[in-house]
Amino acid sequence: MKRAIIIDTDPGQDDALAILLALAAHETLELRGIVAVAGNVPLPLTQLNARRLCDLAGRPDMPVYAGCERPMVRDLITAEYVHGKTGLDGYDWPEVKTPLQEQHGVDYLIEALRSASEGEITLCTLGPLTNIAMAMVKAPDCKRGIGEIVMMGGGFFEGGNTSPAAEFNILVDPHAAHVVFGSGLPLTLMPLDVTHKALATKERIAAMQALGNETGKACAGMLSFFNRFDVEKYGSLGGPLHDPCVIAYLLEPSLFGGKAIPVQIDIAPGLTLGMTVMDWWGMTKKPPNCTVMKDIDADGYFKLLTTMFARLP
């Protein structure tokens, strides 16, 4: 039986590979819709990029929705300095064919979750949690349709990548993250502690290029551009490939290792705004509210990506 998922995303090159992985895994995952949110770049670009990826994968029939154009409380911060002015720099994108749905992304989420059976849908979040939190605030009853939320965001041992304490997705909308982490739903988190071990090295990028299809060419181009920032920042052998960890976990959970712990989001103004406060050692004695991953089989992860991308156009 296929696992029903909805992807909420702000593409972003790493989001792009996550979306392509989900589209390639159609025998295992039933992707019902993609909802764009402002994050890596503003909403007009994130919704356009989501549609471009559906085109690339040969899925112009995939429903794509535009959600929130700004965070719940704060002003929007973006990351063109990482992803380029389009968000998907590194590949020459043709004219988009996949249409944008008229319905607002938050209203789509509410409708889809309300019409689902209890716990039927897994939400896969690759960006700020604005759309998810807004759906929960606007229609609390829609939560019954969610079986699990698998997220990329946060960090503990690695600290932050946008402030000393905060990872980008959480820092963009910490108040939305606060709502989601307090929802009582089953949560699984892919933090920087995992993604910084999943480096897109030159050899791994070359393996995608060698596939010979347009998807492999696009992925290699995007990653070659994306890598430059993190390689310069961290001095690593490649950039960390964050977001596909979310989809890879659904396909091969054995690639990852972690444990259930209490996690809170700091929403107080100051240096630790957006920090994912992870009680890894059980100091607070609070019950766990999130399964946090810490380990990854990086070779197995990239093998899965390359194998699945070979199935796309």
Residue 76's Cβ-side half-sphere holds a number of Cα atoms within 13 Å equal to: 19
Strand partners, 79: none
Of the listed 83, 178, 196, 242, which one is catalytic? 242
Identify the residue whose tokens are 């910084």. Answer: 196
Neighbours of 151 (CB within 10 A): 28
Pairing mode of beta strands 238-240, 263-265: unpaired
Among this protein's residues, is 242 annotated catalytic? yes
Residues involved in catalysis: 242
